[in-house]
């Protein structure tokens, strides 16, 4: 299986996450907190990617996510690309190809990614944004392990799996 085919598989799984986002995210909302399936899948897929493929995964996730709100296209593309590149860079420095690594990566990654997005396109008062993002991070951490298991099944090998 070629590396480009593996990257295509990861992008198809991001599209699957977009379907989950559209079907279940609003129904799972509690107050301002709502899960972000696309962001969770993107961060977990970054665990399996190398530094060359990770920004493309983030770009695809940003493109998919911005299709819901096209006003913030550039902000989604840049924040998601930087986040997955950061996760892949972390994977180059530490051994994080384990299910236990998905929890802090998704939790901290959600906060940092949404923080970058807020810097590029602030749209709420800071307190409302903070409450929404903290709730989103909790939801995403709960989704991290099932997402890791699913993505590990389809994107088995580390580094070689999503390389260009």
Q: Tell me what the mean pLDDT of segment 46-51 comes to.
A: 89
- The H-or-E segment that residue 96 falls in is none
Helix axes 37-48, 54-66, angle to 10 degrees: 170
127 burial (CB, 10 Å; 0-12 / 13-18 / 19+) is exposed
Q: Which domains does the chain have, with CATH numbers?
A: 3-154 (1.10.1760)
- The rounded distance, in Å, linking the Cα atoms of 114 and 117 is 5
Higher pLDDT, residue 71 or 143: 143
Q: What is the pLDDT of residues 87-136, one digit of tens each?
A: 999 887 877 778 999 999 999 999 999 999 999 999 889 999 999 999 99
Mean per-residue pLDDT of the chain? 90
| Residue 161 pLDDT | 45
């Amino acid at each position: 299986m070629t590396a480009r085919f593996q990257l295509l598989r990861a992008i198809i799984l991001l599209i699957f996450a977009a379907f989950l986002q559209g079907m279940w995210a609003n129904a799972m909302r509690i107050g301002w907190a709502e899960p972000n399936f696309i962001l969770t899948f993107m961060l977990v897929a970054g665990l399996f990617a190398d530094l060359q493929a990770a920004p493309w995964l983030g770009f695809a996730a940003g493109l998919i996510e911005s299709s819901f709100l096209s006003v913030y296209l550039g902000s989604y593309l840049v924040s998601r690309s930087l986040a997955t590149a950061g996760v892949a860079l972390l994977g180059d420095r530490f051994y994080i190809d384990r299910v236990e690594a998905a929890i802090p990566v998704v939790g901290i990654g959600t906060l940092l990614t949404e923080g970058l997005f807020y810097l590029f396109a602030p749209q709420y008062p800071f307190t409302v944004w903070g409450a929404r993002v903290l709730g989103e991070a909790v939801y995403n951490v709960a989704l991290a392990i099932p997402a890791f298991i699913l993505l590990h099944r389809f994107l088995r090998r580390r580094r070689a799996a999503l390389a260009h």
